[in-house]
Amino acid sequence: MIQIPLQIIDLEDDGFHPLVEVVVFGKPHTVVLDTGASRTAFDKSILLEANNEATFKDSGKLSTGLGTNAMVSSTLILHDLHIGTLHIPDFEVAVLDLSSINHAYSQLNLPTILGVLGGDVLMKYKAVIDYGKSTLILNSSI
C-alpha cells in the first residue's frame, strides 16, 4: 500500500477539491483527484510545455464534463507517470484544453493544475481516499 498526501483546498464555500502531486516527464505537477471523472485527463498546453516532443493521437471522441458540454480530445501514452512512489508505465491519458479551469483556479489564487486523476487509476489501484488524514492510499500490488 502506498500512502500519498493530499492537499484539500476550499473553493470558497463551493466545496472542496483534493489535490495530489504527480510526476510527468520528470517534473512535478498538481492534479485534482476526481472520483467523478471516468478517465484521467491532462491539459495539452501544460504537457507541451513539459515536453514539446509529446505526440498526441486524435481520439475521434468528444469529452464531456469539466465545465463544458463537449470538447475534442486527444490521447497520449505516458511512459513514465509517478504518483507518490507508484510508477505507472505506458499509461494512456485523455488530453484536453483545460485552460478555462486553470483560469478559474488562478482567480481563486489556487495552483495551476495539470488535470484530473480519474476513475481509471482509482479503480485499478483500489484507491482509498481518507479526507480526515488528507491521504490517498493506492494498492501497488495489482
pLDDT at 1: 92
Look up the pTM and report it: 0.86
Residue with cell 505516458: 78
Q: Which three cell numbers stand for residue 55?
A: 505526440
Confidence of residue 60 (pLDDT cuts 50, 70, 90): low
Cα atoms found within 13 Å of the Cα of residue 78, Cβ hemisphere only? 25
Read off the pLDDT of residues 74-120 as tens digits, 9 standing for 90 and up: 999 999 999 999 999 999 999 999 998 899 888 888 899 999 999 99
DSSP 8-state assignment for residue 14:
S
- Domains of the chain in start order, with CATH, are 2-138 (2.40.70.10)
- Long-range CB pairs of 58-61, under 8 A, 24+ apart, other chains included: 59/94
Taking the CB of residue 37, how many other CB atoms lie within 10 A of it?
21
Read off the pLDDT of residues 14-29 as tens digits, 9 standing for 90 and up: 788 999 999 999 999 9
